[in-house]
């Protein structure tokens, strides 16, 4: 099937920052993204787990955007302004997409 080159940007960020990250993504002109739950993990700030937690403070989410390659820089800059002072991981992966007209 016909596929098209795209980039997948995955941002793992603290849950209380989700709203701001979404705003930043939309500001970069990207309207498509999905949010995946993260159950726990470990990093420089130590291990954590969502289990039994009530507050947002403890948790993280992963925001994944599939974009056209030419939008990458704009998106990363916008995202960076949010994650800059915060913990979190940003990865970019090459991928192919079906139905590229959607992006």
Ligand X SMILES: Nc1ncnc2c1ncn2[C@@H]1O[C@H](COP(=O)(O)O)[C@@H](O)[C@H]1O
Q: Which residues bind another protein (CB under 8 A)?
A: 14, 16-17, 19-20, 45-47, 49-59, 85-87
Distance of alpha carbon 4 from alpha carbon 79, whole angstroms: 24
In this complex, which beta carbon is closest to another protein, that of residue 47 or of residue 101? 47
Q: Is 33 in the site for a second copy (CB under 8 A)?
A: yes
Q: What is the 3-state secondary structure (H, E, C) of 3-22?
A: CEEEEEEEEEEEHHHHHHHH
| Tokens describing residue 31 | 């309207």
Q: Is 27 in the site for a second copy (CB under 8 A)?
A: no
Question: Which of 1, 2, 19, 42 lies at the binding interface for ligand X (CB under 6 A)?
Answer: 42
Is residue 11 classed exposed, middle or buried when 0-12, 13-18 and 19+ CB atoms within 10 A define those classes? buried
Contact residues toward a second copy (CB under 8 A) are 1, 3, 6, 8, 12, 22, 26, 31-44, 47, 60-62, 66, 73, 76-77, 79-80, 83, 89-99, 102
């Amino acid at each position: 099937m016909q596929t098209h080159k795209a980039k997948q940007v995955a941002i793992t960020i603290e849950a209380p920052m989700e709203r701001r990250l979404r705003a930043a993504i939309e500001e970069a002109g990207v309207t498509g993204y999905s949010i995946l739950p993260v159950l726990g993990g470990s990093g420089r700030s130590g291990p954590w787990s969502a289990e039994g937690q009530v507050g947002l403070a403890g948790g993280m989410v992963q925001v994944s955007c599939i974009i056209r390659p030419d939008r990458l820089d704009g998106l990363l800059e916008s995202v960076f302004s949010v994650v800059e002072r915060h913990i979190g991981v940003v990865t970019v992966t090459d991928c192919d997409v079906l139905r590229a007209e959607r992006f």
